[in-house]
Amino acid sequence: MSISLHGIGVSKGIAIGPVHVIDHVEVEINEATLSRQCLDDEILRFQEALITAREQLHRIRTHVTENTHVDLTAFIDTHLMMLEDDLLTDAPIQIILERQCNAEWALKLQCDHLVEIFEGMEDPYLSARKHDVVHVVTRIQRILKGYEEEALPTSALETDLTDHIIVADDLSPADTALMQHRGILAFVTEFGGATSHTAILARSLGIPAIVGLRKARGFLRQIDMIIVDGSHGVTIIDPDDRTLRYYRQRQREERRYRASLNKIKRSPTRTLDGTDISLQVNIEFPEDMTAVKRVGGESVGLYRTEFLYMNRRQAPDEEEHLDAYTRVLKALQGGPVTIRTLDLGADKQVDSRTHSSPAANPALGLRAIRLCLRDAQLFRPQIRAILRASAKGQVRLMVPMVSGPHEMIQVRNIINEVRTELTQKNIPFDPRMPIGAMIEVPALAVCVDLFTPYADFFSIGTNDLIQYALAIDRVDDSVNYLYDPLHPAVLRLIKMSIDAANKADRPISMCGEMASDSRYVRLLLGLGLRAFSVNPEAFLEIKQIINNTDMKGLSRLTGRLLKAKCNTETVPLLEQINSD
Ligand code: PEP
Ligand code: MG
């Protein structure tokens, strides 16, 4: 008998295949007091665990695939170096002798001590190194306790995940990035919201994903084969023949539909009544340009550069930034790219093992431009690289999570200083490179006019705008039911932004996920939006909808949506907008 489990479908499509469960298991460590006679044996046990840990890491290092966006061998080398460091090899032995305690506990005490030192460091990269310590210590403790090897991040990399469905409690954006382009069929997680970055990555990879499927690991651990229906958020265990036939048929239909979209790849993006619409693409890595080319994308409306910082030991330097931007520009062959400055913080941490933040409300905390303005060392190399890239092609610089004009003024001051430095050194850049702001914080949406002196263009980031306007954490599936792009407050904020930008003659686009959702395209056109930036997988579908839309009557219907009070009013209105 087949059983179905329901979660939140966040990336469309059907996957059928075997399960690979990833556990972020906590190791429970207790103190045990030992007699003096046992201490030599305990030290020997600890030293043997160190040898096993080294062997495990050497084995992983030889298996790491080269086809990843991150330098994984550097990661593993750091851990190997730590396993040779007195702080982890000798200090725990001293603790065993002094406290007459077990090796696991001695390691815990030493780990706590080292983490405290790292946490006291101002530099976010050095501070993030505490996770390396925790990771190495956990590896040794697991060996001491006789556990199996840990799943993420390193050992998941030595497993061949091709054609597997990944089931996990949660995957950070950094975890998901580690698993990109490894032939994974689908993701199912126990936690996470519809616009979490993990969901966004799954959509841009074009693989089905379900989040918020509580206890998924418990249900799916022993299962050989499951079906994941990402459109409906359904996972089916042990499907019978009829169910399998049905889903295989749907898979074939979806493939046929995708193939049929190829015929509009070269056509312009223009409504039936002749309005030209700008359709751009969102990317996370220069490697994504292959997918962009496949669908005929010619410009990038959002390049999320923070992925350049994840899963690595040191922040990228100026040359590395420049290299990434140059690769994107080269692939675009003259087309424009909007490079968004670093948006780290909240759920996007520099390290795959940072699953929590000490801040109580990280989404409201030190993230994005706030972090960059606080830490010039982090920000300046990127600004220099973006300016230098502007000499090589059409580049726009976009600032995330702006909440006040003063932030744009500070950014502009920094850019001016960097311009002066570059001019003094005869390094070329485009002095007219546009500098824009993302509309993600409602404070900006309601007073766009105050920002127009400092922003050459705007882009609406609905993922954050909805999160902040409706006060729902985008990564928390328990409040996902409140996530509603049709909420009149959201629609009014979008409309106000578009109208104000148009009035001030500033280009405005939308790069949040709402623009990639086929259900909202006509509604957004009706609200006056004329520029969309969407994930590569959605690109052709969105183009097809735009090309089949007649703008007549749209603004009247969308005007009614702006006043609709509840779903019983919004849903039929949206259906009417979307009916041909
Ligand atoms: C957004 O908030 O809509 C956006 C595009 O930025 P991100 O999803 O990277 O936060
Ligand atoms: Mg955002």
* Average pLDDT of span 2-26: 86
Hey, whose CA ends up nearest to atom 9 of ligand 1? 304
| Three-state SS at 275 | coil
| Three-state SS at 101 | strand
H or E stretch including 61? helix 39-63
Ligand whose nearest atom lies closest to the CA of 340: 1
Tell me which range, 61-70, 281-290, 468-477, 501-510, is most confidently predicted by mean pLDDT: 501-510
Residue 215 has pLDDT above 70, yes or no: yes
**Residue 22 bridge partners (DSSP):** 168
Residue-wise burial string across 183-215, b where 16 or more C-beta atoms lie within 10 A, e elsewhere = ebbbbbbbbbbbbbbbbbbbbbbebbbbbbbee
Give residue 466 CA to ligand 2 midpoint distance, Å.
10
Peptide bond connecting 153 to the previous residue in cis, omega within 30 degrees of 0: yes
Nearest to 248 by CA among 18, 15, 19, 10: 15
Predicted confidence band at 358 (pLDDT cuts at 50, 70, 90)?
low
- Pocket perturbation via mutation, ligand 1, pick of 198, 511, 524 by most ligand atoms within 8 A of CB: 511
Percent of the chain's residues with pLDDT above 70: 91
C-alpha–C-alpha distance, residues 492 and 489, integer Å:
5
pLDDT score at 191: 85
Ligand 1 within 6 A of 462 CB? yes
Ligand 1 within 6 A of 173 CB? no
Mean pLDDT score of the chain, rounded to an integer? 89
Instruction: Tokens 């050194």: give the residue.
Output: 425
Residue 317 has pLDDT above 60, yes or no: yes
Fold match flag (36-145 vs 264-579): no
Please answer whether residues 575 and 567 qualify as being in contact, where contact means their C-beta atoms are separated by less than 8 angstroms: no
Please answer whether residues 490 and 466 qualify as being in contact, where contact means their C-beta atoms are separated by less than 8 angstroms: yes
In the CATH hierarchy, which fold is given to the domain comprising 3-23+152-259?
Glucose Oxidase; domain 1 (3.50.30)
Give residue 469 CA to ligand 2 midpoint distance, Å.
13
CATH for 36-145 is: 1.10.274.10
Ligand 1 within 6 A of 343 CB? yes
C-alpha–C-alpha distance, residues 419 and 156, integer Å:
44
Active-site option among 101, 111, 372, 511: 511
Give residue 138 CA to ligand 1 midpoint distance, Å.
33
Lay out the sheet containing 8-11: strands in order across.
8-11, 209-211, 186-189, 165-168, 19-22
* Average pLDDT of span 428-449: 98
Give residue 399 CA to ligand 2 midpoint distance, Å.
10
- Measured in whole angstroms, the distance separating CA 478 from the mean position of its chain's CA atoms is 20
Ligand 1 within 6 A of 463 CB? yes
More reliable by pLDDT, 67 or 61: 61
The mean-pLDDT minimum among 83-92, 101-110, 115-124, 185-194 falls in 115-124
* Average pLDDT of span 66-91: 77
pLDDT score at 119: 80
Give residue 255 CA to ligand 2 midpoint distance, Å.
31
C-alpha–C-alpha distance, residues 381 and 493, integer Å:
34
Residue 217 has pLDDT above 50, yes or no: yes
Ligand 1 within 6 A of 301 CB? no
| Angle, CA of 554, 555 and 560, to the nearest 5° | 100
Ligand 1 within 6 A of 464 CB? yes
Ligand 1 within 6 A of 461 CB? yes
Residue 280 has pLDDT above 60, yes or no: yes
Ligand 1 within 6 A of 517 CB? no
Q: Give the tens place of pLDDT for each residue, 261-277.
A: 999 999 999 999 999 99
pLDDT score at 275: 96
Residue 101 falls in the annotated catalytic set: no
**Residue 532 bridge partners (DSSP):** 279, 510
Instruction: Tokens 């023949």: give the residue.
Output: 241
Residue type, 18: P
| Three-state SS at 377 | helix
Residue 122 has pLDDT above 80, yes or no: no
pLDDT score at 291: 93
DSSP 1-16: --EEEE-EEEE--EEE
C-alpha–C-alpha distance, residues 201 and 204, integer Å:
5
* Average pLDDT of span 432-448: 98
pLDDT score at 228: 96
- Pocket perturbation via mutation, ligand 1, pick of 281, 401, 513 by most ligand atoms within 8 A of CB: 513
pLDDT score at 265: 95
Hey, whose CA ends up nearest to atom 4 of ligand 1? 461
Ligand 1 within 6 A of 511 CB? yes
pLDDT score at 25: 59
Does domain 264-579 bear CATH number 3.20.20.60? yes
Residue 75 has pLDDT above 80, yes or no: no
- Pocket perturbation via mutation, ligand 1, pick of 280, 440, 520 by most ligand atoms within 8 A of CB: 440
Residue 352 has pLDDT above 50, yes or no: no
Residue 511 falls in the annotated catalytic set: yes
* Average pLDDT of span 138-165: 70
Q: Give the tens place of pLDDT for each residue, 188-209.
A: 999 887 777 778 888 888 889 9
Nearest to 250 by CA among 270, 264, 271, 236: 236
Nearest to 549 by CA among 517, 572, 512, 523: 523
Predicted confidence band at 66 (pLDDT cuts at 50, 70, 90)?
low
Give residue 273 CA to ligand 2 midpoint distance, Å.
33
Active-site option among 135, 164, 197, 321: 197
Ligand whose nearest atom lies closest to the CA of 402: 2
Ligand whose nearest atom lies closest to the CA of 200: 1
Residue 71 has pLDDT above 60, yes or no: no
Predicted confidence band at 139 (pLDDT cuts at 50, 70, 90)?
confident
Ligand 1 atom closest to 459 (CA): 5
Ligand whose nearest atom lies closest to the CA of 533: 1
Residue 222 has pLDDT above 80, yes or no: no
C-alpha–C-alpha distance, residues 119 and 131, integer Å:
10
| Three-state SS at 337 | strand
Please answer whether residues 487 and 561 qualify as being in contact, where contact means their C-beta atoms are separated by less than 8 angstroms: no
Ligand 1 within 6 A of 347 CB? no
Instruction: Tokens 């009149």: give the residue.
Output: 488
| Three-state SS at 360 | coil
Residues present in the chain in total: 580
Domain segments of the chain as ranges: 3-23+152-259, 36-145, 264-579
Predicted confidence band at 64 (pLDDT cuts at 50, 70, 90)?
low
Nearest to 178 by CA among 195, 198, 194, 193: 198
